[in-house]
C-alpha cells in the first residue's frame, strides 16, 4: 500500500471513530470551506463593456474591499464594505479606435449609458453565478465523498452556496461607493492624486501663466540684447539661433513659451525632441497638429509618449519634418534624428537593452555613412538619453529630453544637452514640489559656414512664482569673440 493510500485509510478510521453528530458537523464545515474556496476560484468572468474588456473577480478574504486594476499602472482600492469579500475589476484590454470614436462622439446619450451599465452589471452577475455553481458542485462532491448519501450531498451543496451567498448579500447591502473619495493606491497610479491636483491647478491658472510667460520671455530677451558685457559674453546678435524644446505634453503654457522664445530670440527653426503629447491617441494627434507652433521650420523627433498617429499628423504639416534615423538641413545646420523605439507602437517604454543595442547600431551606421563621404551632422537629436552615449565623439552636439531635468555635459568632445521639460510636467516622485520649471534652450551657431556651435542658453521659467533664469554656457570663446 502506498503512503498516500495508507494516510487516507488512517484518516477514515479516525473520522468513523468520531461520534455521528460531531462527524456530521465536521462534514458540513468542510463542505462550507470547500464551497468558499471553489467560489473564489471560479467567481470570475471576462466580458465587454463598450470599448473595454473587463475581468470581474470576487474572492473571499479577511478584509473586504473593492479594487479597480488598470495594468500596468496599478490598483485603486477602497474599503467599500465590511464583508470579507474582495470585488476586483481589472481592465484587461481596450479597443483604442473604438475608445477614440466614443470620445469624439461627446457625452454618451441616455441609451448608451444604460447599455454600458447593463453590460457592466451583466458581466458581474455572470461571475457570481459561475462562482455559486462551482461552490455547489465542489461542496456536493465533498458531501458524497464523506457520507455517500444524497441527503448529505444536497445539504453540503446548499451550504456551499449559502456561505458565499450570505457574504455577497452582506457586501451588497452595505456597499458604499463614497469610500472611493479616499482610496488607497498601489503601483504607478499612486502618483495620480498629485498629478490630478497639479493639472487642475494648471487648468485654473492657464491664462495667468501664459501672460506671465510672455512677459518673462520679453524681459529675458531684452536683457540679453542690451549692449552690455557680462560673464557669459554679452548679447550674440550675429548668430544663427535655434530653439530646442522637449516634453511639451500638450501643455498650453509650454506651447506659449515655445512661441514666445522663438519670436523674441528670432530663431531660425525649432527642434523638438519628442513627447509632444501624453498617450499618442488619434485625438491627441489632431490637437498636436493644430497646436504645433507655426512661423518657423519645426524638426520633430518622436518620443516614447508619441505614436505613429502623432508622427503622421505632424509630418503632414508643410513646415514640420519628422526624423527617424533620417537627416535634414535647416539654416545650414545638419540634423540627424533618432526616434524613440516606443514611438513606433502604442507602448510607453521600450526594452532598455534593446534600445541601447539599437542606438549602437544606428551610431555605427551613421559613422559608416560619414566615412563614405556624407557630411557629419552638426546635431544628433533624440528623445531618450539612454540612446545618446554611442554618439560621443561622433558629432559636436547631441540633444535629448525625456528626464524632465535639464542637464549639460561634455564627453569625448561632444556636448550633451538635456532640455528638461518645456511643458513643466511633473512625473517623478523624487521631486518634493510638483511644480517644476518650464525649460527651453537656445543654441547659437556662427553665421558663417560651416555652422559651428558658439554658446547655449538654458532657460527656466517658473510661471507660478513669476521667476525665471537664463544660464549661458560658452562652447568656444574664440568663436564668441568673432561674433561679438
The reported pLDDT for the residue numbered 205 is 54
User: In the chain, how many domains are there?
Assistant: 2
Instruction: Give the integer Cα–Cα distance in Å for 436 and 439.
Output: 9
Better pLDDT: 187 or 244:
244
Percent of the chain predicted with pLDDT > 70 = 73
Question: Is residue 356 domain-shared with residue 438, that is, in the same domain?
Answer: yes
Question: Is residue 304 domain-shared with residue 429, that is, in the same domain?
Answer: yes
Average confidence (pLDDT) over 37-60: 85
pLDDT in tens, 413-462: 999 999 999 987 765 444 445 567 889 999 999 999 999 999 999 988 87
The reported pLDDT for the residue numbered 300 is 98
Question: Is residue 245 domain-shared with residue 177, that is, in the same domain?
Answer: no
| 334 DSSP assignment | E
Question: Is residue 156 domain-shared with residue 230, that is, in the same domain?
Answer: no
pLDDT in tens, 311-321: 999 999 999 99
Most confident of 57-66, 156-165, 390-399, 430-439: 390-399
pLDDT in tens, 347-396: 666 788 889 999 999 999 999 999 999 999 999 999 999 999 999 999 99
Better pLDDT: 399 or 304:
399
Question: Is residue 177 domain-shared with residue 310, that is, in the same domain?
Answer: no
Average confidence (pLDDT) over 313-340: 96
For the cut 60, the answer to whether the pLDDT of residue 29 exceeds it is yes
For the cut 60, the answer to whether the pLDDT of residue 299 exceeds it is yes
Q: Which residue has the cell 530646442?
A: 244
Q: If you write DSSP's letter for every residue of 127-156 in order, what string do you get? A: HHHHHHHHHHHHHHHHHHHHH--HHHHHHH
Better pLDDT: 402 or 95:
402
Peptide bond into 72 cis (omega under 30): yes
**Residue finishing a domain among 159, 186, 213:** 186
Better pLDDT: 229 or 418:
418
CB-side exposure of 387: number of CA atoms within 13 Å?
Answer: 30
Which of 260, 81, 281 is CA-nearest to residue 167?
Answer: 81
Question: What is the pairing mode between strands 74-78 and 85-94?
Answer: unpaired
Average pLDDT, the chain: 80
Question: Is residue 455 domain-shared with residue 369, that is, in the same domain?
Answer: yes
The reported pLDDT for the residue numbered 346 is 65
Question: Is residue 280 domain-shared with residue 343, that is, in the same domain?
Answer: yes
pLDDT in tens, 251-290: 887 888 899 889 888 899 999 999 998 877 777 888 889 8
Q: Which residue has the cell 518657423?
A: 296
Instruction: Give the integer Cα–Cα distance in Å for 350 and 373.
Output: 33
| Exposed e or buried b per residue across 346-361, where buried means at least 16 C-beta atoms within 10 angstroms of its C-beta | eebebeeeebbebbee
For the cut 50, the answer to whether the pLDDT of residue 231 exceeds it is no
| Exposed e or buried b per residue across 37-67, where buried means at least 16 C-beta atoms within 10 angstroms of its C-beta | bbbbebbbbebebbbbbbbbbbbbeeebbbb
The reported pLDDT for the residue numbered 443 is 96
Average confidence (pLDDT) over 163-183: 83
The reported pLDDT for the residue numbered 34 is 86
The reported pLDDT for the residue numbered 14 is 55
The reported pLDDT for the residue numbered 70 is 72
Can you read off the three cell numbers belonging to residue 177? 461607493
Instruction: Give the integer Cα–Cα distance in Å for 158 and 268.
Output: 80
Can you read off the three cell numbers belonging to residue 109? 446619450
Better pLDDT: 114 or 383:
383
For the cut 60, the answer to whether the pLDDT of residue 206 exceeds it is no
Question: Is residue 158 domain-shared with residue 206, that is, in the same domain?
Answer: no
**Residue finishing a domain among 169, 186, 203:** 186
For the cut 60, the answer to whether the pLDDT of residue 402 exceeds it is yes
Question: Is residue 171 domain-shared with residue 269, that is, in the same domain?
Answer: no
For the cut 60, the answer to whether the pLDDT of residue 200 exceeds it is no
The reported pLDDT for the residue numbered 165 is 87
The reported pLDDT for the residue numbered 108 is 60
For the cut 80, the answer to whether the pLDDT of residue 199 exceeds it is no
The reported pLDDT for the residue numbered 204 is 54
Better pLDDT: 113 or 119:
119
For the cut 70, the answer to whether the pLDDT of residue 9 exceeds it is no
Question: Is residue 152 domain-shared with residue 225, that is, in the same domain?
Answer: no
**Residue finishing a domain among 135, 154, 186:** 186
At residue 457, φ and ψ (nearest 5 deg) are -100, 125
Question: Is residue 287 domain-shared with residue 333, that is, in the same domain?
Answer: yes
The reported pLDDT for the residue numbered 429 is 43
pLDDT in tens, 464-476: 566 778 888 999 8
- Please answer whether residues 252 and 214 qualify as being in contact, where contact means their C-beta atoms are separated by less than 8 angstroms: no
Which of 235, 294, 292 is CA-nearest to residue 265?
Answer: 235
Query: Other C-beta atoms within 10 Å of 410: how many?
Result: 13
| Cβ within 8 Å of residue 270, ≥6 positions away | 242, 243, 244, 245, 258, 262, 293, 296, 297, 298, 299
Question: What is the pairing mode between strands 467-474 and 453-462?
Answer: antiparallel
Range of the domain at 289: 194-483
Question: Is residue 220 domain-shared with residue 181, that is, in the same domain?
Answer: no
Q: Global pTM?
A: 0.61
CATH number of the domain within which 426 lies: 3.60.21.10
Amino acid at each position: 500500500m502506498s503512503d498516500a493510500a495508507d494516510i487516507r485509510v488512517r484518516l477514515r478510521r479516525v473520522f468513523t471513530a468520531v461520534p455521528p453528530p460531531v462527524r456530521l458537523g465536521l462534514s458540513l464545515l468542510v463542505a462550507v470551506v470547500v464551497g468558499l474556496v471553489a467560489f473564489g476560484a471560479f467567481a470570475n468572468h471576462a466580458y465587454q463593456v463598450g470599448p473595454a474588456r473587463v475581468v470581474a473577480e470576487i474572492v473571499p478574504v479577511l478584509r473586504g474591499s473593492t479594487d479597480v486594476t488598470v495594468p500596468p499602472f496599478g490598483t485603486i482600492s477602497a474599503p467599500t464594505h465590511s464583508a470579507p469579500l474582495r470585488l476586483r475589476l481589472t481592465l484587461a484590454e481596450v479597443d483604442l479606435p473604438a475608445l477614440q470614436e466614443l470620445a469624439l462622439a461627446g457625452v454618451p446619450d441616455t441609451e448608451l449609458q444604460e447599455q454600458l451599465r447593463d453590460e457592466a452589471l451583466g458581466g458581474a452577475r455572470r461571475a457570481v453565478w459561475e462562482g455559486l455553481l462551482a461552490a455547489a458542485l465542489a461542496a456536493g462532491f465533498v458531501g458524497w465523498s464523506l457520507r455517500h448519501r444524497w441527503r448529505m450531498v444536497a445539504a453540503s451543496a446548499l451550504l456551499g452556496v449559502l456561505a458565499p451567498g450570505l457574504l455577497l448579500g452582506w457586501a451588497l447591502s452595505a456597499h458604499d461607493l463614497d469610500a472611493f473619495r479616499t482610496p488607497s493606491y498601489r503601483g504607478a497610479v499612486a502618483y495620480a492624486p498629485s498629478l490630478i491636483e497639479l493639472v487642475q491647478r494648471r487648468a485654473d491658472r492657464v491664462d495667468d501663466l501664459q501672460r506671465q510667460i510672455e512677459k518673462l520671455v520679453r524681459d529675458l530677451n531684452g536683457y540679453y540684447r542690451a549692449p552690455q558685457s557680462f560673464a557669459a559674453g554679452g548679447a550674440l546678435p550675429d548668430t544663427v539661433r535655434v530653439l530646442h524644446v522637449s516634453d511639451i505634453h500638450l501643455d498650453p503654457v509650454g506651447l506659449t513659451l515655445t512661441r514666445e522664445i522663438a519670436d523674441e530670440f528670432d530663431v531660425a527653426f525649432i527642434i523638438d525632441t519628442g513627447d509632444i503629447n501624453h498617450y499618442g491617441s488619434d485625438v491627441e494627434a489632431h490637437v498636436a497638429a493644430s497646436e504645433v507652433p507655426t512661423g518657423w521650420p519645426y524638426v520633430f523627433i518622436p518620443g516614447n509618449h508619441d505614436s505613429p498617429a502623432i508622427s503622421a499628423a505632424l509630418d503632414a504639416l508643410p513646415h514640420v519634418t519628422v526624423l527617424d534615423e533620417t537627416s535634414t538641413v535647416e539654416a545650414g545646420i545638419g540634423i540627424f534624428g533618432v526616434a524613440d523605439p516606443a514611438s513606433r507602437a502604442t507602448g510607453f517604454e521600450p526594452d532598455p537593452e534593446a534600445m541601447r543595442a539599437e542606438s549602437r547600431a544606428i551610431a555605427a551606421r551613421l559613422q559608416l555613412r560619414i566615412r563614405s563621404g556624407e557630411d557629419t551632422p552638426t546635431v544628433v537629436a533624440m528623445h531618450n538619453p539612454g540612446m545618446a552615449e554611442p554618439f560621443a565623439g561622433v558629432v559636436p552636439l547631441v540633444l535629448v529630453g525625456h528626464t524632465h531635468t535639464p542637464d549639460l555635459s561634455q564627453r569625448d568632445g561632444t556636448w550633451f544637452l538635456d532640455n528638461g521639460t518645456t511643458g513643466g510636467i511633473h512625473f517623478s516622485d523624487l521631486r518634493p514640489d510638483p511644480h517644476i520649471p518650464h525649460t527651453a534652450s537656445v543654441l547659437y551657431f556662427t553665421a558663417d559656414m560651416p555652422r559651428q556651435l558658439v554658446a547655449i542658453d538654458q532657460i527656466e521659467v517658473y510661471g507660478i512664482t513669476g521667476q525665471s533664469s537664463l544660464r549661458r554656457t560658452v562652447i568656444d570663446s574664440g568663436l564668441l569673440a568673432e561674433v561679438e
